[in-house]
Chains A and B, each alone.
Chain A
Amino acid sequence: MPNSQGKHRLETTRRRVLKAGTIISLSGAMLPTTGLAQQAGPQPSPENGVTVPVSFRVNGRPAALDIDARASLLDLLRERLGLVGAKKGCDHGQCGACTVHMNGRRIASCLTMAAKAHGRDVTTIEGIAGADGLHPMQQAFIDHDALQCGYCTPGQIMAAIACVKEGHATTPEQIKEYMSGNICRCGAYVGIVAAIEQAAPQIERS
């Protein structure tokens, strides 16, 4: 897969035209053909992307930065914000390892353009433990050995919390169906279902 997210590119010095806020209000001044395409001076290398400003909240804290417009939310979280809990399993929506919550709903952060996070609330695995300890779902995963290598686990736990909040964790069959977007290569599924059943009563439905 052509990778567009090399780190060096994110340090691009020529901030391009887009001002904070314009991402939401579409004004003539920021139309691609007028502002972005023609640049004087040295041609940007093909690696050099157009940047857009995003500001959003992640785990309750505000974050504001300029990002390559091509970036995924997953790469933004991992490479720019150091939140490496969400994992890149497939990068194509097929495994669930990158699951985070946006405005309280679970999404695949690999197929979410980072620019879409603007103005929204993102919660990652790093943001779910309370001041007084682990989230009940984290504890339940430990209690039920609901993992082996652990690679899928942050995505599983984020999906599991949402599964309960949605009201989709009322029977083992329903849990299996609504957790099917999270693949576990180690096959810890039995423990995962048991963990969700344990934690469900301790989590409020939204």
Chain B
Amino acid sequence: MKPLSYVRAGTAREAIDAFVAAGDGARYIAGGTNLYDLMKLGIERPAHLIDIADLEGADRIDTDGDRLFFGGAALMANVAEDPVVSRDYLVLAESLSKAASQQLRNMATVGGNLLQRTRCPYFRNGVNGTYPCNKREPGSGCAALGGLDRSQAVLGASEACNAVSPGDWPVALMAMDATIELQGRDGTRVIPISELYRPPSQTPHLEFTIGREEIVTGIAVPKTAAGRNSVYLKVRDRESYAFALVSAAVALEMDGDRVGQAHVALGGVATVPWRARAAEAFLRGRTLDREGALAAATAAFADARAGRHNAFKIELGARTLADALITAGSKSQ
């Protein structure tokens, strides 16, 4: 690990000023569960760390208004156990409580979770030329394409990268039409979460659309009755404390016994948190039965492409989504 300086900022403004003053090697650190991990692996090499985990008010959780609001530095554990979130927005609560471990959820922030980097084994293990990786060393190639690709994406891959977007929480937020509040040098702005992630295309090292010095100050989710008919279903190699092989975030706005608007997103299978619009369109106006759920789920994977070892994700993904739809639907009765 390179020598580095460390400062703890008190406000977002202070942090941004410190970031700008520190120049090229500056990075924000929140819980550090991803950044510090990658520093130990030699993948991230910051020279100046600006700690934003303790910014004034940044851990705020507010469920009183017409939206849910989570400060960027709110802890995963605290959001998962918030009484309103865990009662009325199970898809959000479960995406957090099924992620990592309680120790890590006590450290990791919901803002940092959005910006965590891939768990692709070639990305994580290949430093110093062991494996090429276009994310780690732009232009070096991709060892996962045609390599041991069991964990890799079947949706959204490019010729340069098929690494999976690892977070669970962004998948749930994608389904729930969350917006991300950002503060930068020139003020604040709000973007839909769908605009936070860049597909890999030819530049997989550019993963997020936000500026280097921008801080995620908050995440907002519009309140909706669909939260009550929601679920985050996550299938892993082991029952707990593992990243998703496939996951499905589902929330259903019902119209009597028919689906009005379905909110559907997929994790573990795609290069970015994946909104499954085709499945949503298929479900509109239908009653939910096993057959329809599976047909909708199959539509979600119509464009999926498998490599050598990850074809199982297509069927597992469709079946997982179908189960999630049935589960969410059964809650509305």
Chain A residues with a Cβ under 8 A of chain B: 1-2, 4, 23-26, 28, 30-34, 36, 44, 46, 48-50, 52, 68-70, 72, 91-93, 96, 99, 105-108, 111-113, 115-116, 118, 159, 162-163, 166, 168, 176-178, 180-182
Contact = CB atoms under 8 A, between A and B. Distances in A.
A96 B14 contact: no
B6 A105 contact: no
B313 to A, nearest CB: 23
A49 B42 contact: no
A92 B102 CA distance: 15
B101 A111 contact: no
A93 B240 contact: no
A177 B240 CA distance: 7
26 contacts: A1-B40, A1-B42, A2-B42, A26-B8, A26-B9, A26-B15, A31-B18, A32-B5, A32-B7, A32-B26, A33-B23, A34-B21, A50-B4, A50-B6, A68-B3, A69-B4, A70-B1, A92-B37, A96-B103, A107-B107, A111-B31, A111-B32, A111-B36, A112-B36, A113-B29, A180-B101
A48 B1 CA distance: 11
B6 A52 contact: yes
A92 B100 CA distance: 12
A155 to B, nearest CB: 9
A113 B7 contact: no
Given A33-B23, A93-B37, A69 B51 contact: no
Contact of B102 (A4, A48, A72, A168): A168
B6 A99 contact: no
Contacts of B103: 93, 96, 99, 106-108, 159, 181
A107 to B, nearest CB: 5
Given A26-B10, A93-B37, A115-B51, A49 B3 contact: yes
Interface of B: 1-10, 14-15, 18, 21-23, 26, 29, 31-33, 36-37, 39-42, 47-49, 51, 53, 77, 100-104, 106-107, 239-241
Given A96-B101, A108-B104, A32 B22 contact: yes
Contacts of A4: 1
Contacts of A163: 102
Nearest to B14: A26
Contacts of B48: 32-33
Given A50-B3, A180-B240, A1 B41 contact: yes
Nearest to B124: A92
A69 B241 contact: no
Contacts of B23: 33
A48 B2 CA distance: 9
A108 B33 CA distance: 9
A160 to B, nearest CB: 11
A46 B14 CA distance: 29
Q: Which of A34, A36, A162 has the most CB of B within 10 A?
A: A36
A118 B7 CA distance: 11
A35 to B, nearest CB: 8
A189 to B, nearest CB: 12
A28 to B, nearest CB: 8
A96 B240 CA distance: 14
Q: Which of B7, B29, B77, B241 has the most CB of A within 10 A?
A: B7
B245 to A, nearest CB: 16
- What 6 A-B pairs are tightest by C-beta distance, nearest first? A181-B101, A180-B240, A4-B1, A32-B5, A32-B48, A180-B241
B3 A46 contact: yes
Contacts of A36: 5
A37 B2 CA distance: 12
